[in-house]
Amino acid sequence: MERIELITPGEILLTEFLEPNNISQTRLAGDLDISQSRIAEIVNGQRAITVDTAMRLAVYFKTSINFWLNLQNNFDIEKAERSGEFEVINSRVRPNPNFAHINSQANEPRMRTAFLFALLMTLLAAAPAWAFLGFGNAEQKVSAKDGLITLDTAKLAAGQIRYYQYKDGNTLIRFFVLRDSRDTVRAALNACEVCWKAGKGYILRDGSMVCVECGMKFPLARIGLVKGGCNPHPIAFKMDGTVFTVTVDELLSGARFFP
């Protein structure tokens, strides 16, 4: 499968925030009280989004600071992995045997559990009910045969979506298949590179897929075509008439979004 070109945080800033709202780079720089060159370099992929910039963007667009930092961090990680930089480091660094993964988890402070429980209770109390339905949309369990998962989309009407889950050992992959207004079948993981840790996924509302965590909307026509940021992570599949086929390997390539 041909790799999808990485989308820089600056491109997301431009296409998802500036252009749809008719905000020029000059105006944004002035409103953020920073130089125009900084915005131009970020948009052109020549400069990273720093904590300072993330704070300003968060205030301006009423998002979280982590939204912008996660965009940058995930882009940097993916870029490093693609370039082979991580493999080089992995071959040169000698792991400390005293910090095995199983031990590091066991030694985490007990307050972490209490914190997560308190956070969950806060979210349950404050968020609307639909905000926790990203993984509650009647997910259908699917199985594989000879490394392939096949689904019949004959009864999937335009504007409709179906949620699925596939389990491989201890790994549970969640994905969805939809049909847009032009009768094109599209599919993606029910997760993205920014908000995947929240574990909420997407819901279909008013003809768009909406990230339950950050609220960003994505037209059905772009699902599966755009990778990066908060876009649903694309998966490659084949259609033979109404039969949808995706390989197990393709789904498992996105296992990092479902730890």
Q: Is residue 48 part of a domain?
A: yes
**Is the separation of the CB atoms in 190 and 213 below 8 Å?**
no
Instruction: For residue 245, give the nearest of 187, 193, 205 by alpha carbon.
Output: 187
Among 24, 51, 86, the domain-final residue is 86
Q: How confident is the model at residue 233 (pLDDT cuts 50, 70, 90)?
A: very high
166 and 249 co-located in one domain = yes
Domain ranges, residue 30: 9-86
46: helix, coil or strand?
Answer: coil
Query: Beta-carbon neighbour count of residue 161 at 10 Å?
Result: 19
149 and 69 co-located in one domain = no
| Integer Rg of the chain from CA | 20
**Is the separation of the CB atoms in 63 and 57 below 8 Å?**
yes
Per-residue pLDDT at 30: 96
Q: Is residue 132 part of a domain?
A: no
149 and 246 co-located in one domain = yes
Is the pLDDT reported for residue 100 higher than 80? no
Q: Is residue 98 part of a domain?
A: no
**Mean pLDDT for the chain overall:** 83
Q: How confident is the model at residue 230 (pLDDT cuts 50, 70, 90)?
A: confident
Q: Is residue 108 part of a domain?
A: no
Write out pLDDT tens, residues 10-57: 988 988 789 878 999 999 999 999 999 999 999 999 999 999 999 999
Per-residue pLDDT at 137: 52
157 and 223 co-located in one domain = yes
- Domain containing residue 74: CATH number: 1.10.260.40
159 and 64 co-located in one domain = no
11's CB contacts (< 8 A; 6+ apart) are 43, 45, 228
Q: Return the C-alpha torsion angle 217, 223, 226, 229, nearest 10.
A: 40
Distance CA 51, CA 37 (A): 17
Structurally, how many domains does the chain consist of? Answer: 2
- Domain containing residue 198: CATH number: 2.102.10.10
